[in-house]
Amino acid sequence: MALPPFTSQLIADVGISLGDEGKGRLVYEIAAELRESTKRRDAVALVLKVNGGANSGHTAGGLKLNLLPAGVIDSDVATLAIGAGVVADPRKFWWELEPLERRGYQVFERLLIDERTLLADVSHRLLDLAWEDYRSHVLGEPPRGSTGRGITPAYSDEVNQWPIYYDDFRGSRDNFVKKFRVRLTRASRIIKDICQVIPEHWDNFFDRLTLAETRANQAAIDAGIFQKEDFDFCQFRSKESFFLDNDKVIETYWRAGQRLLPRIGDVREAVLTALNRGQYVIGEFGQSYWLDKRHGFSPNVTASHTYTPEFFQSAGIPCQPVHTVGCCKAYDTKVGTHVFLTQMDDLHPLGKLLRELEYGTSTGRQRMVGWFDAVEKGDALRYGGYQDLVINKLDALTHRGAWQGELLVCTGYCARDGKMTAGVPRDDQVRKDLQPVFAKLPGWSEDIAGITSFARLPKNAQRYVAFMMKSILDVATRGGSSSVPVPNLRYIGTGPDPAQIIRDVPATRDLLKLAE
């Protein structure tokens, strides 16, 4: 039984937990569904990267992507757009794009970078490391857990009214040089005088960046697409500590930007044109509800807005109805320095298996793993609002080897005084002292990898899914005392490949009966 069609030509693909939910794979599932229902190959005109930058890591069809939208793998999507709300390093476009082109994906010709997309550069990456260094070494606080991709410093330049836009690549070189030189000098001064970084750490920053990018691009180096030297950040260090070889940085970025000139344009017009033609636009979000700079778990958040309202800001179009698909996994992961109330014990047999699957797409960091936290998802639904939900990686929970136990779902938090909280407390000091309240559910041992029909799932897997939905709704509605628009469960992921997905989940009112 098919679920109701999408309710708007704008479809937002957002995360409802802490990132890494598998939003990338949704893009081609949604696009395929739209093609089928409209019988139009060109149903999806644009996939728009809405927010963030190279901090987001999306895996789609076996490709690991940071800056490019996952629409890359779908050749029927005519335009891969980068919104004005994105902070993008032009070198990174090339590092991602060229290996994909060699593999036969057409990327460059489909790319459309908005004129107002913000230029992120090496100074932001150095500032990211310097501010983390300042937190640890000057303030004695834990690091924020940044991906080190320069995201917060890049947005700071926007907020502080020092933006350099992709449009600046179309202007005079002198103007670009002037703006960029001021930026680089300002960054050096902040790193030296405000962050009080010591010279050894400064030198070490360049080694860390070199190592990270060399590792991330090793396959392309091995294939001869790039030289190892292309990822050598030490080339930008000046002889004098805390200063950069400004001329070299500026020339490198100017060249990378000039090569992108044919792809810089007006995303606002492209989106409006698509809507006028009756086509769909999928907004692919980075990060997730709880990493939103305003409503997330500050300071362990990213520097952008990570859910639906940002669609309009980044595309530069009027607010209008949008169909939002909120994505999570059948268990939880966190990366960085987060409070993780449902974290599994290191020795837990399921935890061990899940950790083998969970490495950061952007950074290669090991993710922490834990039980499904319905409180976080319920509040994300209550305040974020989704027409549909998606649960990925259900197959990862199947019994195997030493893992034969019950599954836990966190349905509430208990505070020190023994009282249950209403949703997620916004005060992190309060939150970190809470105890999760778990429901226990039986697991299953039947292999469900690649199952495409809900009816073929073992009863215990069906019940687990139904219980997750019920728990999310219980939290979102505060136990039924207030109402929220009830989402359907549009897809359940049973494996990473496009064919490994269930698309015939019963409507929520029927699904919930299984949880009783």
Catalytic residues: 20, 58
302 binds ligand IMP (CB under 6 A): yes
Stretch that binds ligand IMP, among 139-147, 203-211, 255-263, 387-395 (CB under 6 A): 139-147
Q: Does 56 bind ligand IMP (CB under 6 A)?
A: yes
Give per-residue burial for 478-510: e unless 16+ CB within 10 Å, then b.
eeeeeebebbbbbbbbbbbeeebbbbebbebee
- Reported residue count of the chain is 516
Nearest residue (CB) to ligand IMP, 52 versus 436: 52
Phi, psi (rounded to 5 degrees) for 43: -55, -45
CB 497 within 8 A of CB 451: no
Q: Residue 359: which of 350, 351, 368 has the closest Cα?
A: 368
Rounded to the nearest whole angstrom, what is the least distance from the CB of residue 52 to ligand IMP in the complex?
6
What one-letter code names the amino acid at 323?
Answer: H
> Is 143 near ligand IMP (CB under 6 A)?
no
| 344: DSSP letter | P
Residue number with CB closer to ligand IMP (289 or 454) = 289
Select the span of 149-157, 268-276, 386-394, 480-488 touching ligand IMP (CB under 6 A).
149-157
Q: How far is the CB of 202 from ligand IMP (least distance, A)?
A: 20
Kindly tell me which residue out of 57, 153, 370, 436 binds ligand IMP, with binding defined by CB under 6 A: 57
CA distance 252 to 187: 18
CB closer to ligand IMP, 300 vs 508: 300
Q: Does 17 bind ligand IMP (CB under 6 A)?
A: no
Contact flag: residue 19 with ligand IMP (CB under 6 A): yes
Cβ 307 vs Cβ 285: under 8 Å: yes
Return the number of the residue (303 or 457) whose C-beta is nearest ligand IMP.
303
By the 8 A CB rule, do 318 and 10 touch?
no
> Which residue among 212, 250, 335, 424 contacts ligand IMP (CB under 6 A)?
335
Give the nearest distance from C-beta 128 to ligand IMP in angstroms.
Answer: 7
Task: Give min distance, CB of 500 to ligand IMP, in A.
Answer: 22
Three-state SS at 249: helix
CB 231, min distance to ligand IMP, A: 19
Q: Does 51 bind ligand IMP (CB under 6 A)?
A: no
- State in angstroms the smallest separation of the CB of 104 from ligand IMP: 26
Pick from 152, 279, 308, 343 the residue near ligand IMP by CB under 6 A. 152
Chosen residue from 336, 384, 385, 487 binding ligand IMP by CB under 6 A: 336
Pick 288 or 411: Cβ nearer ligand IMP: 288
CA dist., res. 365 & res. 368, Å (int): 9
CA distances to 355, 405, 452 from 399, rounded to whole Å, are 15, 7, 19
Q: What is the DSSP string of 94-160?
A: HHHHHHHHHTT---GGGEEEETTPEE--HHHHHHHHHHHHIIIIIS-PPP----SSSHHHHHHHHHT
Count of residues near ligand IMP by CB under 6 A: 20
- Only one of the segments 6-14, 240-248, 274-282, 299-307 lies at the binding site for ligand IMP (rule: CB under 6 A); that segment is 299-307
Contact with ligand IMP (CB under 6 A) among 61, 145, 265, 349: 145
User: Which among 24-32, 168-176, 285-293, 341-349 is the span making contact with ligand IMP, rule CB under 6 A?
Assistant: 285-293
The answer to whether 363 touches 128, Cβ cutoff 8 Å, is no
Please report how close the Cβ of residue 426 comes to ligand IMP at its closest, in angstroms: 17
Check residue 22 for interaction with ligand IMP (CB under 6 A). Answer: no
Residue with structure tokens 């490198």? 252
Residue nearest to ligand IMP (CB): 19
> CA-CA distance, 168 to 115, in Å (whole number)?
8
Token pair for 448? 């469900």
**How many CA atoms lie within 13 Å of 199's alpha carbon, on the beta-carbon side?**
4
Name which position in 117, 246, 279, 300 contacts ligand IMP (CB under 6 A): 300
By beta-carbon proximity to ligand IMP, the closer residue of 20 and 168 is: 20
Give the binding range for ligand IMP (CB under 6 A) out of 53-61, 135-143, 309-317, 386-394.
53-61
Q: What is the DSSP letter of 43?
A: S
* 42: region left, alpha or beta (phi > 0 left; psi from -120 to 50 alpha): alpha
Cβ closest to ligand IMP, residue 151 vs residue 441: 151
Out of 25, 124, 135, 149, the only residue in the binding site for ligand IMP (CB under 6 A) is 149
Cis-peptide into 299, omega within 30 deg:
yes
- Reduced to 3 states (helix: H, G, I; strand: E, B; else coil), residue 63 is strand
**Nearest CB to ligand IMP, comparing residues 55 and 488:** 55
20, 47, 271 from 265: Cα distances, Å? 30, 15, 12
Nearest to 17, CA basis, from 305, 306, 274: 306
- Told to check if 147 binds ligand IMP by CB under 6 A, we report yes
Residues that bind ligand IMP (CB under 6 A): 19-20, 55-57, 145-147, 149, 151-152, 286-287, 291, 300-303, 335-336
